[in-house]
Amino acid sequence: MDNNKRNNSTWQNVWHNFKKNKLALFGLITIILLVIMALLAPIIAPYTLSEMDFANMDEGPSLQHILGTDKLGRDIFSRLLYAARISLSVGLIAEAIALTIGTTLGTTAGFFAGKVDTLIMRTVDMFNSFPFILLSITVVAVIGPSIYNVMIVLGVLSWTGPCRIIRGQFLQIKNEEFVEGARAMGASNLRIIFKHMLPNSISPLLVSATLGVGGAIMTEAALSYLGLGVQPPTPSWGNMLQAANDLHALETKPWLWLPPGISILLSVLSINFIGDGLRDSLDPKAQQNDH
Amino acid sequence: MQSYILRRILQVIPVLLAISLVIFMIINLAPGDPLANLKQTKNITQEDIEQRRETLGLNDPLLVRYFNWITNALKGNFGRSLQTGRKQIFELIVNRLPATLLLAISSMIISWALAIPIGVYSALNQYSLADYSITVLIFIGLSLPSFFFGIILIYVFALKIPVLPIGGMITPGKGGPLDIFLHLILPAFALGIRGIASLARYMRSSMLEVINEDYIRTAKAKGLKASIVIYKHAFRNALIPIITIFGLQIPWLISGSIITEKIFTWPGMGTLSINAVFARDYPVIMATNMFYALMVFTGNLIADISYVIVDPRIRYD
């Protein structure tokens, strides 16, 4: 009970600091709005995904189509909303995969140390020497481009960050009194890890996970832009940007490629603001010289 | 120090071998047939294809093929491209390397040249309007995918206000250093944006940390001119931790350059490797992945070595 209360006040403290950071608050509100718009896409979107307006094909913004239409007469604004669902969920799921692998291996390495640790850290070295983008492109091209494959590839290639963080935290705290205490009380390894060590390592992990979602959204966009990610007709912000591949469309029809690009920028920017705000509000030291 | 570097290089050999094995396995589990194109060609019979498969060693077990590949690769022989057949892949890569290095080094220079003054200025004017604007711009720089920034640059500076050329490295029929320089500007900025943003951010916080140190207060207290305190005492010390970013920048530059090259059809290794992926040109994919892995490793090694040089408290014995 007592422990629970203390935890609550810690998080209240974090929130108290977080909301003082205007940029972080802006980021949080933007992301919440984006998520709501993505979830409500079928209700908000004025047109369905595949609806073609043959009278207004390839037209710029108008009253009927506020962001214009593509060359098949599909409404850009509606596609943008549906694409938000895809792009945001690829980011979230890829990061969730990375976190699961990273936390498991980082916990193992930090807790058991010794040979297991060496082996895991060598694997981390190996993954860190992979040319990330080229390898993702290679793997996606080999196993076939699809939304699920992009999630898996991005997740499997980005677990090293969380892994190093958790390992570092564990090495730092494993000889501290509360861990010794739990051990002396006869707690099992699993209990020590889950009840005592992981909760005390959560702050840096939370920051890295937040920033990781932004990174995954950017990489998904890059892969889909190259045609190796989410496949049309399913829209994602990245594959909508493919419209810019055609120099003529790039020059004369900015409504085709500017909205998805700005959506990527806005969502990644908001996530980075949130991550940065979290870092500052979780770490009292950082507040002195950053705003 | 020397023994540390030597040990790191020795350590990386198994890591590179493991990377090569993993990439080799991934590529060879691919369902696509590298000789699929031949099947469509007339005058080529099934026997011809089988014979070619045999001479290329495609019928051997996977581990045998890996062993053959790695023994040749260690001698610098990465085989021949399936597309352009004639040329040795090693030669292809060596031909493409200067363009990639030119692009990467240029954007590195741009990012350092811009980021350091921006970071210092921002720190010296902490909490001013300029500082807030720079902070927001830095965040935008970090959140802007380099390919989207590249597209915007092309739209603005090559299409709407056509002042700079795009596409490749030289204008057909022209050439010369000036022509290459003009072609270089947009891709170098597109690739450099992330570096500018993150370096400026590090520089700002490093500078802020230093100007709150005791020795700066001492320098001020003994009546030194503000400019001397800032440039001789603060700036130099703030720069030290930033040096280590240099090595970390190499992996970012490499990942970024692949897609930047593709957008600007820059004739470097990135374009070579993406085209190879699309053409399922496995020997080239294999070789470029290995080259990039080697470059990433070198970057990480430079970063670690610079930590040791910069901060004598770190020991790697």
Is residue B259 a contact partner of residue A133, using CB atoms and an 8 Å limit? yes
Q: Which residue reads 């060879």 in tokens?
A: B28
Flag whether pLDDT at B312 surpasses 50.
yes
Contacts of A131 in chain B (CB under 8 A): 251, 254-255, 258, 289, 292-293, 295-296
Buried b (16+ CB within 10 A) or exposed e, A222-235: bbbbbbbbbeeebb
Q: Which of A36-40, A72-76, B29-33, B228-232 has the highest mean pLDDT?
A: A36-40
Task: Give chain B's mean pLDDT.
Answer: 85
pLDDT at A269: 96
Which residues from A are below 8 Å from B when comparing CB atoms?
23, 122, 125-126, 128-135, 137-139, 141-144, 214, 218, 221-222, 225-226, 228, 241, 244, 247, 250-251, 254, 257, 261, 264-265, 268-269, 271-273, 276, 289-291
Least confident of A247-251, A270-274, A286-290: A286-290
Give the pLDDT score at A240.
92
pLDDT in tens, A27-62: 999 999 999 999 998 888 888 887 777 777 777 888
Q: What pLDDT is attached to residue B300? A: 80
**What average pLDDT score do residues B268-276 get?**
90
ipTM of the complex: 0.87
Instruction: Output the furthest CA–CA distance in chain B (Å, rounded).
Output: 89
The percent of residues above 70 in pLDDT, for chain B, comes to 93
- Domain residue extents for chain A: 2-49+63-289
| pLDDT single digits (tens) A95-134 | 999 999 999 999 999 999 889 999 999 889 888 877 788 8
Q: How high is the pLDDT of residue B120?
A: 93
* Residue B101, C-beta contacts closer than 8 angstroms, at least 6 positions apart: none
Of the candidates B135, B148, B212, the beta carbon closest to that of A265 is on B148
Long-range CB pairs of A11-19 (<8 Å, 24+ gap) are: A13/A281, A14/A278, A14/A281, A14/A282, A15/A281, A16/A281, A17/A280, A17/A281, A17/A287, A18/A277, A18/A278, A18/A280, A18/A281
Reported confidence tier of residue A154, pLDDT bands at 50, 70, 90: very high
What is the mean pLDDT of the segment spanning B182-188? Answer: 94
In this predicted structure, what is the pLDDT of residue B38? 63
- Alpha-helical segments (H) within B174-221: 176-211, 214-221
* pLDDT tens track for A66-90: 888 888 888 889 999 999 999 999 9
Tens of pLDDT, residues A196-254: 898 888 888 999 999 999 999 999 999 999 888 888 888 999 999 998 888 888 888 88
The pTM (predicted TM-score) of the whole model is 0.88
Q: Which CATH class is domain B89-310?
A: mainly alpha
Rounded mean pLDDT, A12-22: 86
SS3 of B209-244: the string is: HHHCCHHHHHHHHCCCCHHHHHHHHHHHHHHHHHHC
- State the pLDDT at residue A289: 41
The pLDDT, as a whole number, for residue A9 is 73
> Is residue A270 very low, low, confident or very high in pLDDT (cuts 50, 70, 90)?
very high
pLDDT at B152: 95
Q: How confident is the model over B102-132, as pLDDT tens digits?
A: 999 999 999 999 999 999 999 999 999 999 9
- Candidate from A130, A250, A291 with C-beta closest to B19: A130
Q: Phi and psi dihedrals of B168, rounded to 5?
A: 75, -165
pLDDT at B240: 81
CB-nearest partner of A250 from B15, B155, B293: B155
Q: With cut-offs at 50, 70 and 90, classify the pLDDT of residue B42.
A: low
pLDDT-derived band at B73, boundaries 50, 70, 90:
confident
**Which of A27-31, B13-17, B134-138, B247-251 shows the lowest per-residue confidence on average (mean pLDDT)?**
B247-251
Q: What would be the CATH architecture of the domain defined by A2-49+63-289? A: Orthogonal Bundle (1.10)
The yes-or-no verdict on residue B184 having pLDDT over 90 is yes
User: Residue B45 pLDDT > 60, yes or no?
Assistant: yes
8 Å CB contact of A269 and B292: no
DSSP secondary structure of B261-312: HHHTT--SHHHHHHHHHHTT-HHHHHHHHHHHHHHHHHHHHHHHHHHHHH-T
Does A138 contact B289 at a Cβ distance shorter than 8 Å?
A: yes
Structure tokens given for A196: 């005592």
Beta-bridge partner residues of B80: B88
What are the sequence ranges of the domains in chain B?
2-74, 89-310
**Which residues of chain A does B295 touch, with a Cβ-Cβ cutoff of 8 Å?**
131
Mean pLDDT confidence for B270-296: 87
Q: Report residue A166's pLDDT band, with 50, 70 and 90 as the boundaries.
A: very high
